[in-house]
Amino acid sequence: MEENIYKRIVDTWGTESQLNMVIEEVGELLQAISKFNRAKNKDEETQVEAYRHLCEEVADVINMMNQMREMFSSELIDKYIKEKLDRTEEKLNKDIKSEKEI
């Protein structure tokens, strides 16, 4: 069902409109990350609010990324995700090996 709604969104509002929304949502996520980092030295209520706002913006960006999977090749995106995760895993394994040698 989720994929169907993402396709419906893109079909209804179009690729250009939704790409502009991606830009907007990523900008809001950047702001939420900054606010979250600044809230670390604030009172608990401010920290909780910053955390919740960050989670909300992450959800918005994930929804936009799922729309992008409908706009572009999800197979190619998945290929790049796997390649990047494999590279990261190799780096992690090298770092773990280096730590054990110390």
Token pair for 84? 């990047």
Task: Specify whether 67 is located in the same domain as 19.
Answer: yes
pLDDT category of residue 95 using cuts at 50, 70 and 90: confident
The residue-averaged pLDDT of 74-96 equals: 94
Q: Which residues of 4-25 are buried (b: 16+ CB within 10 A; e: fewer)?
A: eebeebbeeeeeeebeebbeeb
Domain residues for the domain of 40 are 2-71
Task: Specify whether 64 is located in the same domain as 33.
Answer: yes
Task: Specify whether 15 is located in the same domain as 59.
Answer: yes
pLDDT at residue number 94 = 87
Task: Specify whether 65 is located in the same domain as 89.
Answer: no
Would the pLDDT of 101 be above 90? no
- Residue 70's CB: how many other CB atoms inside 10 A? 18
pLDDT at residue number 3 = 60
What pLDDT digit, counting tens, does each position of 20-74 carry?
A: 999 999 999 999 999 999 999 999 999 999 999 999 999 999 999 999 999 999 9
**Using CA atoms, how far apart are residues 43 and 40, in angstroms rounded to an integer?**
8
Task: Specify whether 34 is located in the same domain as 46.
Answer: yes
Task: Specify whether 44 is located in the same domain as 64.
Answer: yes
Task: Specify whether 12 is located in the same domain as 36.
Answer: yes
Would the pLDDT of 86 be above 60? yes
Task: Specify whether 51 is located in the same domain as 89.
Answer: no
Exposed (0-12), middle (13-18) or buried (19+): which is 32, by Cβ within 10 Å?
Answer: buried
Task: Specify whether 62 is located in the same domain as 19.
Answer: yes
**Using CA atoms, how far apart are residues 29 and 15, in angstroms rounded to an integer?**
21
Domains in the chain, number: 2
